[in-house]
Chains A and B, each alone.
Chain A
Amino acid sequence: MGKIKKALLSKQMVIAYWVLGLVVIWEILAVIIEHTKRTPENVLPHLHQIAQSIFSKDLVNMDQTALQIVLSNTGITLQRAGIGFLIGIAVGYLLALIMNMFSWAEKVVFPYLMIIQMIPILGMAPIVLAMTKDINKSRIVIAALLTFYPVATNTLAGFKSVMKEKHELMYSMAAKKSDVYKKLLIPASMPYFFTGLKISAPMAITASILVDTLQGGGGLGCMLSQSLKHAMTIYVFWQIVFLSAIIGIASYYLMSVIEKLISPYKKVGR
Chain B
Amino acid sequence: MEIEKLQDRTNVEKLTTVLYPVLFGIFIAVLWQTQILHKILGTDTFTLPLPGRIISIIGDNHATILKNVGATLIVALGGLTAGSLFGYLLGIISTAFPKWGAGGLTVVSAFNAVPIIAIAPILNNLTKDFSKDANTRSMLAKMLVVMITCTVAMSINAYRGLTELKPFSLDLMQSFAASKLEIFFKLRVPNSVPYIFTALRVSVPACVISALVSEYFAEYIIGVGRQIRENIVLAQYATAWAYIFVACAIGIIMYLILLTLEGILLKGRR
Interface residues of A (CB under 8 A from B): 9, 11, 14-15, 17-19, 22, 36, 42-44, 104, 107-112, 115, 117-124, 126-127, 129-131, 202, 205-206, 209-210, 213-214, 221, 224, 228, 237, 240-241, 244-245, 248-249, 251-252
Contacts and interface: CB of A to CB of B under 8 A. Distances in A.
B261 interface: no
Given A131-B47, A237-B121, A252-B113, A118 B252 contact: yes
A224 B113 contact: no
| Residue from the set B113, B125, B232 with the largest chain A CB neighbour count within 10 Å | B113
Contacts of A224: 117-118, 121
Contacts of A214: 229
Contacts of A104: 16, 20
B241 A245 contact: no
The prevalent SS among residues of A at the interface is helix
State the majority secondary structure of interface residues on B. helix
B41 interface: yes
Contacts of B129: 36
Contacts of A42: 125
A104 B103 CA distance: 46
Nearest to A119: B248
B225 to A, nearest CB: 5
B16 A126 contact: no
Contacts, number: 139
Contact of A131 (B48, B103, B110, B122): B48
B127 to A, nearest CB: 10
B117 A131 contact: no
Interface residues of B, number: 53
A152 B254 CA distance: 23
Contacts of A209: 115, 117-118
Given A131-B47, A209-B117, A221-B117, A122 B104 contact: no
B255 interface: yes
Contact of B232 (A18, A43, A115, A127): A127
A228 B251 CA distance: 30
B247 interface: yes
Interface in B164-214: 205, 208-209, 212-213
Given A17-B103, A120-B251, A240 B118 contact: yes
Contacts of B104: 14, 18
Interface in B243-261: 244, 247-248, 251-252, 254-255
Interface in B102-123: 102-104, 106-107, 110, 112-118, 121-122
Contact of A18 (B24, B103, B112, B208): B103
Given A14-B104, A43-B126, A224-B117, 20 more contacts: A14-B100, A17-B100, A44-B125, A44-B126, A107-B20, A118-B205, A118-B248, A118-B255, A120-B247, A124-B228, A124-B244, A126-B228, A127-B232, A130-B237, A131-B48, A206-B115, A206-B117, A209-B117, A221-B117, A224-B121
A130 B21 contact: no
Counting chain A CB atoms within 10 Å of each CB, the highest count among B205, B208, B209, B255 belongs to B209
A107 B21 CA distance: 7
